[in-house]
Structures are given as C-alpha cells and as structure tokens.
Amino acid sequence: MNMPMTYPSTMEPAMTPADEPILDLRKLSKTFGEVQALDGVDLTVQPGEFVTVVGPSGCGKSTLFNIVSGLEEPDNGSVLRFEGQSVHAKHLLGRVSFMPQRDLLLAWRNVIDNAILPLEIEGANKAEARAEAQRMLPEFGLAGFADKYPHELSGGMRQRVALMRTFMFKRDLLLLDEPFGALDALTRTMMQRWLLEVWQKHKRTVLFITHDVDEAIFLGDKVLVMTARPGAIKLARTVDLPRPRSADLVTSPEFISLKRELLDAIEEESMKTFGPASH
C-alpha cells in the first residue's frame, strides 16, 4: 500500500492574512509521566471550517481536546496559536465551547437552566439568558421541554441539551468530543444532519472528534486521521463533497473511495496498537 504519510503536502490553498487560522497547532506534544500521549501534532483550523478527527482508540484524541479547551498544558516546545496569537492552554479556558463525550447535565437543573449554565458563569442576566434559551428550544428539537429535568429525557434529547448549552456559549470555536458516540445508529444519523443545519445557520468553527469514519466524512470539510499513541496527524484529506449534504451521500463513489483511503490509514494504525499478526 502506498500512502501519503505527511500532512502539510495536502494543505489548504495559500493563506492570506484575511483568513488566518482560528486554531494553529505545531509540534504539539504531551507527556504524562512515562506515557507520551501526543507527539508533534500539526493542525490548523480555518474560521468557519468543520474539521473532523478520527483515529484508533487511545490515540490521544481526548488529550488533544483537553489542551485546546485549556484544561491541560502541552509540553514545552509545543506551539499553540489561537486567533493569531501564541497562547498558553490555560488562556483558552472560557474562550472555546467545549462539549465532552458525556452530556454532564446537572440533575437539579431543568433543560433551560442547564442550557444557560455557561452564560450564568459569564455573569449574564439570568432572565435574558432564559428568554434566549427559550427561543432556541425548537431549533434543538426541545420545544415544550423547557421545564423537564435530565432524568425525564431520552439519551438523544439529553445530548441535544448539551449541544444547546455548547452553542449558547458563543465562542467562535466549538470542540465536540464524540458527541453522538453513545447514541443508537438511527438517532445518530438524524443528529448528524441536524448538526450540519445548525452549524450552517450559526456559522461557527467546529473541531469534531469521532471514531466513526462515515461520520467524519459526512460532517467534515476536512478529515484528519491520527496515528496510534503517541498521537500525531497521519493524514489530512479535504472532503470535496457538496453541501448541504443529504443522507444518500454515503453511497456515492466519491464518499466510498475517500472512506476506503481513510479506513486503510486507520487500519494500519490500529495494527500498531494491537501488534503485528503476520508480518
């Protein structure tokens, strides 16, 4: 198999100062004691772009997100640039909208009050925040559920509340960590299409982690494949599929050939993790 091993060769068109990347990571590494989780991640995200990241399990995807959301500092020598400025990870706290894998809704808050949590932390006026959330409910498929508590909601609905909370925290960059990982296949497909609608309407930038290649291609403008641990970017592919994307896209030849290429790359990395079987 012949496969492009490096990322920069397939970069986007030349940058102009006007479209400076919102997020620019270079040689980003992270070591926990003896374990190296990330080893030289290079990654750029342009404003308005939907970038998906796939990789074998344990490849350090979540560590990458923890750094970009400001929860962990990368090792020395890593370059982390946000909105054109070199920053420490901790300066990103409160500057990107982070959505972890689990919905992490607060049991004692109803749908509206869960959704406005980040605004409340920012010190926004509660009544105004609630009114805004109320207006957003239909778009998130939650009309009529304002006063429900998390234990009264299905998994898909809880996830939509968590997404709404993420969207209400109005930051240009959204980090979504396998938001649909726990949902059944049907709900998941519906949520993907719905997410694209919401994204196009709100014009936000998204960095999206998944381990589902179909999902990565269906959603992304660009798909990044990570190597096995220590994680780095193995492959970057632009997805030249027209938007808006419909469900039958997944059976088109372009989709299939891109999927095959990405699956091969992931397969090769998974083999490293699980050891050589025959060769």
Partner 1 sequence: MTYDPMSPSQHALARGVFGGLALFAIWELAARLFDLPSYILPAVSEIIARFWTARAVLGEAAAYTLGEALAGYLLGGAIGVALALAVTLVPQLRKVIVPAATAVNSVPVVAFSPLILLWFGMGVSSKIVMVAVAVSFTMFVSALAGFDRVDERSVNLMRSFGASRAAILWKLRLPTALPLILSGMRLSTVRSLIVAIVTEMLGAYGGLGWVIYQAVIVIDFVQVWAAIFVASIASLGFFAVVSFLERRLVFWR
Residues that bind partner 1 (CB under 8 A): 66, 69-71, 93-96, 98, 100, 102, 104, 106-108, 117-118, 120-122, 149, 151, 169
Which residues have C-beta within 8 Å of that of residue 106, sequence separation ≥ 6?
113, 114, 117, 150
φ and ψ at residue 220, rounded to 5 degrees: -85, 150
CB closer to partner 1, 40 vs 94 = 94
- As a whole number of angstroms, the distance between CA 255 and CA 218 comes to 8
The distance of closest approach from Cβ of residue 126 to partner 1 in the complex, given in angstroms and rounded to an integer, is 12
φ and ψ at residue 132, rounded to 5 degrees: -65, -45
**Token pair recorded at residue 43:** 């990654």
The distance of closest approach from Cβ of residue 94 to partner 1 in the complex, given in angstroms and rounded to an integer, is 2
The distance of closest approach from Cβ of residue 61 to partner 1 in the complex, given in angstroms and rounded to an integer, is 15
- As a whole number of angstroms, the distance between CA 1 and CA 262 comes to 13
CB closer to partner 1, 20 vs 120 = 120
The distance of closest approach from Cβ of residue 107 to partner 1 in the complex, given in angstroms and rounded to an integer, is 5
The H-assigned helical ranges of 169-252 are 185-202, 213-219
The distance of closest approach from Cβ of residue 147 to partner 1 in the complex, given in angstroms and rounded to an integer, is 12
φ and ψ at residue 127, rounded to 5 degrees: -60, -45
Q: In 3D, which of 236, 211, 233 has the Cα closest to residue 221?
A: 236
- As a whole number of angstroms, the distance between CA 1 and CA 175 comes to 33
